[in-house]
Amino acid sequence: MSQKPLVLTLGDPAGIGPEITAKAWAALRHQPDLAFGLIGPIALIKGVFSDMDLPAPVAVSDYSDIPKTFADTLPVINLGDSPLVIAGKPDSALAPIITGSIAAAVTACLSGEAAGLITNPIAKEVLYKAGFSHPGHTEYLGELTKGAPHSGPRGPVMMLSGGGLRVALATVHLPLKDAASTLSMETIISTATVMHHALIRDFGVKNPRIALTGLNPHAGEGGALGREELEIINPAANALRSVGINATDAKPADTLFHAEAREGYDAVLAMYHDQGLIPVKTLDFHGGVNITLGLPIVRTSPDHGTAFGIAGQNIARADSVIAAIKSARNIANNRAKSNVG
């Protein structure tokens, strides 16, 4: 399978990224197939390793050095100097190194030097204050990769995996009041099409079954509680089925996520952010993974954020970032197989 290393972005260094990076490295150092390098100022990560009595990270100049170094210490693609970072104290002055780390990781994946990237959490508000114009990583990665060749329908599509669920979103980071007015047949069709192809290529699902949620309570109750199901979602489902994509008509979201339902589908397409992410994070907060579908590169992320309130206390759990690293390797391997096949 792909022997190229994975790369981990810095995220907001005032958050829990540095400590979960150290904990993930300590947990995975003897698993060479999960070797990863951090992209960021090495000065920002050394203190955490010292506090945890871990070997000091080392700067490497080439991505090919990551696998050779990983068992002994964390390899770092050094981005040079950084402004002062105080754990738990976000600072928009850090925005250039935060976004610079992401851009460098994308470049490494596009060049083939890295098999995939995992993003440490960012705090959107902090980046917005610095002029970051994208809603989050997902859209930024879409922009950074839009010119690169990609076999299959292009995203980006956000999908959270965890608790036995895979849930993608038809609308993402916009005010809830706008979610209904933004919802369209075109958005549902394009998102479900990306999901279908990704389930096959990235997850090895032979005949994907995608359940669509309704927008309204009880999926609109036949139109009595809203008409988006009758006028948008179900016509989109019909169009999807007409081209061979197995998508259901709108189903009531409050009963779609229970165990029996979960067994009936390979993924769910939810109509708005919290409708889809609450079940995943409720069932498996520390095992959940955020996966971006429809990109020419592999990208995963922990399902949590910067947790500024606990940053620097060494109590953050690395489970989710470890799950994200494993997921990135699995997807990279599946893509390598499908490219060969």
Ligand X SMILES: NC(=O)c1ccc[n+]([C@@H]2O[C@H](COP(=O)([O-])OP(=O)(O)OC[C@H]3O[C@@H](n4cnc5c(N)ncnc54)[C@H](O)[C@@H]3O)[C@@H](O)[C@H]2O)c1
Report the interface residues with ligand X, using CB under 6 A: 16, 20, 121-125, 137, 290, 301-302, 304-307, 309-310, 316-317, 320
In whole angstroms, what separates CA 223 from the centre of its chain?
35
Which of 41, 6, 29 has its CA nearest to residue 300?
A: 6
Contacts of 300 (CB under 8 A, 6+ apart): 116, 117, 118, 119, 289, 290, 291, 292, 324, 325, 327, 328, 331
The tokens for 332 are 């990279």
CB 243 within 8 A of CB 197: no
Residue 229, contacted partner among ligand X, ligand 4TP, none, CB below 5-8 A by kind: none
Q: Which residue is it, tokens 């997902």? A: 138
Among 12, 202, 284, 303, which residue interacts with ligand 4TP (rule: CB under 6 A)? 303
Q: Whole-number minimum distance, CB 20 to ligand X, in Å?
A: 6
Site map (CB under 6 A) of ligand 4TP, residues 131-170, x = contact: -----xxx--------------------------------
Q: Whole-number minimum distance, CB 99 to ligand X, in Å?
A: 13
Q: Which is nearer to ligand 4TP, 113 or 139 (CB)?
A: 139
Q: Whole-number minimum distance, CB 6 to ligand 4TP, in Å?
A: 17
Q: Which is nearer to ligand X, 38 or 307 (CB)?
A: 307
Site map (CB under 6 A) of ligand 4TP, residues 248-277, x = contact: -----------------------------x
Cα separation, 321 vs 193, in Å, equals 27
Q: Which is nearer to ligand 4TP, 72 or 125 (CB)?
A: 125
Q: Which residues, in sequence order, are bridge partners of residue 167?
A: 160, 268
Burial of 244 (0-12, 13-18, 19+ CB in 10 A): exposed
Q: Which residue is nearest to ligand 4TP (CB)?
A: 136
Q: Which residue is nearest to ligand X (CB)?
A: 305
Among 301, 320, 333, 334, which residue interacts with ligand 4TP (rule: CB under 6 A)? 301
Residue 194, contacted partner among ligand X, ligand 4TP, none, CB below 5-8 A by kind: none
The tokens for 37 are 């390098």
Give how many residues touch ligand 4TP by CB under 6 A: 7
What phi and psi, each to the nearest 5 degrees, are found at residue 142?
A: -60, -40
Q: Which is nearer to ligand X, 201 or 304 (CB)?
A: 304
Cα separation, 105 vs 37, in Å, equals 10
Contacts of 184 (CB under 8 A, 6+ apart): 232
Q: Which is nearer to ligand 4TP, 2 or 301 (CB)?
A: 301
Q: Whole-number minimum distance, CB 277 to ligand 4TP, in Å?
A: 5
Q: Which is nearer to ligand 4TP, 2 or 320 (CB)?
A: 320
Sheet containing 246-251: order of strands: 58-59, 75-78, 36-40, 6-9, 116-118, 299-302, 289-293, 157-162, 165-169, 267-270, 209-213, 246-251
Residue 149: asked if its preceding bond is cis (omega within 30°), the reply is no
Q: Which is nearer to ligand 4TP, 72 or 143 (CB)?
A: 143
Residue 321 is a binding residue for ligand 4TP (CB under 6 A): no
Cα separation, 224 vs 217, in Å, equals 10
Q: Which is nearer to ligand X, 33 or 285 (CB)?
A: 285
> Interface residues with ligand 4TP (CB under 6 A)?
136-138, 277, 290, 301, 303
